[in-house]
Structure 1
Amino acid sequence: MATVGAASTRIDDLDAWFAAITQPTALTELAVLAACVVLAWGLVWVVRRALSARDEASILFGRSILDGVMFPLLLLCLGYAAKALLAPQFPLAVFKVAIPVLLSLAVIRLGVKVLQVAFKNAPLVRALERTISWVAWIAVVLWVSGLLPSILEELDRITWKVGGSTLSVRTMIEGALTAGVVLIITLWISSAIEARLLRSATGGELSLRKAVSNATRALLMFVGLLLALSAVGIDLTALSVLGGAIGVGIGFGLQKLAASYVSGFVMLAERSVRIGDNVRVDNFEGLVTDINARYTIVRSLSGRESIVPNEMFISNRIENLSLADSRVLQSTVVSVGYDSDVELVMRLLSEAALTQDRVLRDPEPSAALTNFGAYGLEFTLNYWIIDPESGQQNLRSQINLSILKALRENNIEIPFPQQVIHSRAAR
Structure 2
Amino acid sequence: MNSRLRCQSFFRQIARIVLVALTISYLLSITPVVAQENTTAPIILDGRILFEVNKSGEYTAENRANEANAVLRQQVTKPKPAVEVKIERREGLPVIFINDNHLLSVTSADSLNVERKAEQWQRQLQRAIKKAQYQRSNKYIRNAIFLSLGSILLAIACIYGLNRVCRRWLKPFLPAEMTDLPRDSRRRLILQVGVKILTNVLKITPWLLCTIYITDLFPQTRELSHNITDTIIGSLTGELIPLGDKSYSIVGILIFLGLFTGLIFLARTAKELLRSRLLHLTGLNRGTQETVAQIANYALIFLGTIVLLQLAGLDLSSLTIFASVIGVGIGLGLQGIAKEFISGLVLIFERPIQVGDFVNIEGLMGTVERISVRSTEIRTLDAISVIVPNSRFLESEVINWTHQNPVSRLTLPVGVAYGINLHMVREALIQAAQEHPNVLPQPEPQVLFRGFGDNSLDFDLLVWIANPPQQFKIKSDLYFRIEEVLRDRSLEIPFPQRDLHIRSGSVPLEISPQLSESLTQLSASLTKWLELQSNNNSWHKNNSKIDSKESS
Interval containing the TM-score (normalised by the shorter chain): 0.5 to 0.7
Question: Is structure 2 residue 267 aligned with structure 1 residue 190?
Answer: yes
State the shift of 1:388 in Å: 2.0
- Determine the C-alpha separation between the residues in 1 that align with 2:276 and 2:465: 29
Q: Structure 1 326/57 Cα, relative in aligned 2: closer, same or farther at 3 Å? A: farther
For residue 273 of structure 1, the aligned residue among 353, 376, 386 is: 353
2:15 to 60, 70, 94: 60
Match of 1:404 among 463, 483, 489: 483
2:389 pairs with 1:309? yes
- Does structure 2 retain, via aligned residues, the 8 Å contact 1:55–1:61? no
Partner of 2:466: 386
Whole-angstrom CA distance in 2 between matches of 1:354 and 1:380:
15
The change in CA–CA distance for 1:347 and 1:178 in structure 2 (over 3 A counts) is same
Given that residues 160 and 166 in structure 1 are in contact (C-alpha distance below 8 angstroms), is that contact kept between their aligned partners in structure 2? no
Per-residue deviation at 1:286? 0.8
- Determine the structure 2 residue equivalent to 1:248: 328
Return the letter of the residue paired with 2:452: F
8 Å CA contact 2:439, 2:465 repeated in 1: yes
2:369 matched residue in structure 1: 289
**What SS does structure 1 have at the residue aligned with 2:387?**
strand
| Conserved? CA contact 1:260–1:295, under 8 Å | yes
Count of aligned positions: 302
Map 1:5-404 → 2, pairs under 5 A: 52-54=7-9, 58=13, 60=15, 69=19, 154-155=234-235, 167=247, 171-200=248-277, 201=280, 202-220=285-303, 222-224=305-307, 226-227=309-310, 230-231=312-313, 234-389=314-469, 391-404=470-483
Q: CA deviation at 1:359?
A: 0.5
Return the offset for 1:317. 2.1
Residue pair 1:337, 1:377 contacting (<8 A) in 2 also: yes
Q: Is the 8 A contact 2:310 2:316 kept in 1?
A: no
CA contact (8 A) 2:443 2:464 kept: yes
Counterpart in the other structure of 1:80: none
DSSP 3-state at the match of 2:367: strand
Letter in 1 for 2:299: T
Query: How much has 1:265 moved relative to structure 2?
Result: 2.1
**Residues 357, 368 of structure 2: 8 Å contact kept:** yes
Residues 106-139 of structure 1, C-alpha deviation per residue, up to 9 Å, x if partnerless?
A: xxxxxxxxxxxxxxxxxxxx9xxx9xxx9xxxxx
In 1, distance between residues paired with 2:422 and 2:6? 66
Give the structure, 1 or 2, with the largest relative contact order (CA under 8 Å, sep 6 or more): 1
Could you say which residue in structure 2 is the equivalent of 1:94?
Answer: none
Once the two structures are TM-superposed, the CA of residue 316 in structure 1 deviates from its matched residue by 2.4
Deviation at 1:253, TM superposition (A): 1.4
Question: How many Å separate the matches in 2 of 1:297 and 1:164?
Answer: 39
- Percent sequence identity is 27
Matched residues in 1 for 2:374 and 2:355: separation? 15
Residues 164/395 of structure 1: CA separation in 2 closer, same or farther (3 Å cut):
closer
Taking structure 1 as reference, are residues 159 and 323 closer, same or farther at Cα in structure 2, changes over 3 Å only? closer
3-state SS of paired residue (1:190): helix
Cα drift, residue 310 of structure 1:
1.3
* 1: CA distance, partners of 2:244 / 2:409: 70
TM-score, with normalisation over the residues of structure 1?
Answer: 0.61
Shift of 1:346: 0.8
Task: State the shift of 1:288 in Å.
Answer: 0.6
Equivalent AA in structure 1 for residue 296 of structure 2: S
Structure 1 residues 356 and 61, CA gap change in structure 2 (3 angstroms) = same
TM-score (ref. length: structure 2): 0.48
Structure 1 residue runs without a partner (length 5+): 1-48, 63-67, 77-125, 135-140, 142-146
Residues 186, 224 of structure 1: 8 Å contact kept: no
Please give the secondary structure, in 2, of the residue aligned with 1:356: coil
Post-superposition CA distance 1:289-346 (Å, at most 9, x none): 1111211111111212211111222232211111121012112111112211111101
